Chain A
Amino acid sequence: MNQSVEPSYALVVKKDCPTCALIEPVIAELAEKIAGKLTVYVQDDPSFPANSNPIDDRSLEFSYNNGIEIVPTLIDLSADSEDRIYGWDKKQWREFTGISSLGEGLVDFKPGCGSKTQDPGMDEVLALRFDSGLLQARKVELAESEDIMEACFERGWTDGLPVVPPTPIRVMRMLSGSDRPADEIIGNMPPDYRPCSIEKIAINAVMAGAKPEYFPTIIAAAEAALLDKFCMHGLLCTTYFSSPVLIVNGPATRQIGMNSGVNALGQGNRANATIGRSLQLLIRNVGGGVPGGIDRATMGNPGKYTYCFAEDESDADWPSLAMDRGFDRDQSVVSLFAGDGLTPILDQQSRTAESLAKSMAASLRCVANIKLFGMADAILVVCPEHRRLLKDSGWSKADLKAALFDELMTPGSEVLRGANGMAEGMPAKFKDKLLNKFRDDGLHIVSTGGTAGMFSAIIGGWVASGERGSQLVSKQFSITGDENE
C-alpha cells in the first residue's frame, strides 16, 4: 500500500450496515491514533459512529461525488490514486493504515453493505441534486393550486388524452434507458425544424407513458422520422389520412415485451402503445405539428394517437420486414411507413396459396382508389394462419410477392379516368400502358397477429408515396443503447 508521510483518510459508513456497526470501536481507535487525519462521513445517522466526530452525509453529496458504492469504504486521500478498501478485512485495514494492532479481537473478515447511493432510484435523484447542468429544458413551475394533469392539457402538450407529467426525475429515469447524452441533437424536427435533443425525446417519451427500456426504440423511431426519404414534413401537412406507422423487428421487441400476437395492432400493450405515441407527441411538441395548424388532415386516422406493432418472427423460414430491408434477424430495427388505418382481408375459404394470393391482390386494389395505380404504397399484413397456408403450399414470402405483382398488373385502359362510369382514375396517357397497382418497392409484407383467424390486412400508404413523397425507412438500434447505424 502506498503510504505517504502524512497519511489522510476518508471513511464512509452507515449505521444501518452491520459491518459498519461491527467496526465502530475500530473507527474510534483509528480516530484517536491518527487524530485529525481521519474524516468520517455517515450516510444515515450523524450520531454514529461514536467518538469519531462524523460528518453528516445524509444528503449523500460526498458519497455521490466520490462514487461510493459500498460501506464501509476507506479512502487513502494522500495516495496519488486515492487507494480504497471496502468492507472489513483486518489484515487489509492494518496494512492500509499502518497500525498493526488495529481491530484486535474482531473477526478477520466481514463484507460491507451497499452504499445508500445505490438504493433503487437514487442514482437519478442524486444526479439531479448534485449535477444541475444535466437537464437543459425550460422548467415550468406550477402553482400549488394547479392540477398537474390539467396543466399539461392547458399548455397544449397532449394529443387529447392524459399524459404522464414530465417531472425532472421521470425524465432522468427515461434518459437512463440509453447511453446517449441528453444534450445530443439528433436533428431538426419538422414542421418547425426546431433542434430535437435526446432530452426532448425523453420528455415526450415520459409523457407518452413509456418505460426507460423502450427509450432506444423511441430514439431510433425519431431518427428514422428525420430521414429525408421519410418526408415527415409533407406527411404531417397533408390533407390525406396518413401518419407514421412504426413496425419493430428483432430481439428488442422480445426484450421490451412488444406485442406481435393476439391484437398486435390493437390496444393493451404498453410498449406498442407508448412507443408510437412518443413519436406523435414529439412531432406535436418539438416539431410544432398541431392539428388544424400545420397538420391539415381532412379526417386523419385513429393511428395518429399511436400506430406501432412488432412483427411475429417465430417462423425462421419467413424473412422479416427488416430482413427485406437488408438487416439480419438478430438486429433490432424500427421501420416507419407513411400509412393510415387498417383494411381487413377476410379469406377463410382459400386452401391453396394461389387462391389466397388472388384474393389478397384483389383486396389490395382498393388502396386509395380501385382505379389509382402507382400512387400509394401499402403494407400487406399477413396473419399467422395465412402464413401457414402459404408455407403448407410450399410458397415463400418471395413467391407471394411475385404472385401479387403478377395479379396486380392491369391494362391502363381499364383504369383510365372515366372508365366504368367513374371520373376518378389514371390520366389518358396511360391508355396503352400495362400498369402495376404498386410502384417498385411499393408493397411491403409483414406478418403479425394471433394464431386464430384467417384475417390478414392492408395498411394503405400515403398517396404521395415514393421519391416525390415518402418511402419506408428503417433504423437499426441496440437495446443497450449502444446504437450503430
Chain B
Amino acid sequence: MSDMTLLDPTAELNPVERQLLPRLQSLSGATVGLLDISKPRGKEFLDEVESQLTELGATVKRYSKPTFARVAPKELTQRISIECDAVIEGLAD
C-alpha cells in the first residue's frame, strides 16, 4: 500500500470523491457572476446569458480574466466568492 492511501475517518455516508458545493435551488434573488475568460466573442455570448438570467430573477455581475491563457488571479476568485452566490465561467471562440 502506498503512502498515498488514506483510511476514511468518516461514517462513509458520502462518496470518496470531493463533493460539489450545494447547488442553488432557485435563481430568483440570487447573484450570479459571469466570468469572461477573455476569448473572442465572449462578450456577445455572455450578454445573451445575462439577459436570460435576468429574466429568471437573478442579479448578474460581470467579471473578466486578464487572459484566457492563465488561471484567474486569486483576488478575482476571492471577489467573485464574496459577491456572488454562483458563477458561470464563459467560454467562446
Number of A-B residue pairs, CB cutoff 8 Å, is 76
The size class of the interface chain B forms with chain A is 10 to 19
Judge whether B9 and A194 touch: CB under 8 Å. no
Is chain B's binding surface mostly helix, strand, loop or mixed? loop
Residues of B within 8 A of A154 (CB): 18
Q: Are B5 and A138 in contact (CB-based, < 8 A)?
A: no
Name A residues whose Cβ lies closer than 8 Å to a Cβ of B. Answer: 128, 135, 137-144, 146, 148, 151-152, 154-157, 165-169, 171, 189, 192, 194-195, 199-200, 203-204, 207, 281, 285-288
Residues of chain B in range 1-26 having any CB-CB distance to chain A below 8 Å: 1, 3-13, 16, 18-19
CA distance A442 to B6 in the complex (A): 43
- Inter-chain contact A288/B4, CB cutoff 8 Å: no
Instruction: Tell me whether A139 and B6 are in contact in the complex, defined as CB-CB below 8 angstroms, given that A128-B1, A155-B18 are known contacts.
Output: yes
Is the beta-carbon distance between A137 and B7 smaller than 8 angstroms?
yes
The answer to whether A285 touches B5 (Cβ under 8 A) is no
Determine if A138 and B8 form an interchain contact, defined as CB atoms under 8 angstroms apart: yes
* Other-chain contact of A168, B1, B10, B16, B19 (Cβ < 8 Å): B1
C-alpha spacing A438/B8, complex, angstroms: 43
In Å, the complex CA distance between A144 and B5 comes to 10
Q: For B1, what are the chain A residues with a Cβ–Cβ distance below 8 Å? A: 128, 167-169
For the complex, give the distance between the alpha carbons of A189 and B16 in Å: 20
| Complex interface: chain A residues within 8 A of B6 (CB) | 139-140, 142, 148, 151-152, 165-167
- A204 CB contact (under 8 Å) in B3, B9, B13, B19: B9
21 chain-A/chain-B pairs, Cβ below 8 angstroms: A128-B1, A137-B7, A139-B6, A140-B5, A140-B16, A144-B4, A146-B4, A148-B4, A152-B6, A155-B18, A165-B6, A168-B1, A171-B7, A189-B11, A192-B11, A192-B13, A194-B11, A203-B7, A204-B9, A286-B11, A287-B11
Q: Are A168 and B5 in contact (CB under 8 A)?
A: yes
Report the separation of the CA atoms of residues A200 and B3 in the bound assembly, to the nearest whole angstrom: 19
By a CB distance below 8 angstroms, the chain A residues around B19 are 156
Main secondary structure of the interface of A (DSSP, over half): mixed
A168 contacts B7, CB within 8 Å? yes
Q: Beyond A154-B18, A155-B18, is A142–B4 a contact (Cβ under 8 Å)?
A: yes
Determine the chain A residues whose CB is within 8 A of the CB of B12 once the complex forms: 137-138
Contact present for A142 and B5 (CB under 8 Å): yes
Chain B residues with Cβ under 8 A from A138's Cβ?
A: 7-8, 12, 16
| Contact status B4-A281, CB under 8 Å | no
Chain A residues lying within 8 Å of B10, measured Cβ to Cβ, are 157, 285-286, 288
Q: Are A200 and B9 interface neighbours, CB within 8 A?
A: yes
> For residue A152, which residues in chain B have a CB less than 8 angstroms away from its CB?
6
Shortest C-beta distance, B7 to chain A (Å), equals 4
Cα of A165 to Cα of B12 in the assembled complex, Å: 17
B19, closest chain A residue (CB): A156
Given A138-B16, A154-B18, A155-B18: A148 touches B3 (CB 8 Å cut-off): yes
Which of chain A's residues has its CB closest to B11's CB?
Answer: A194
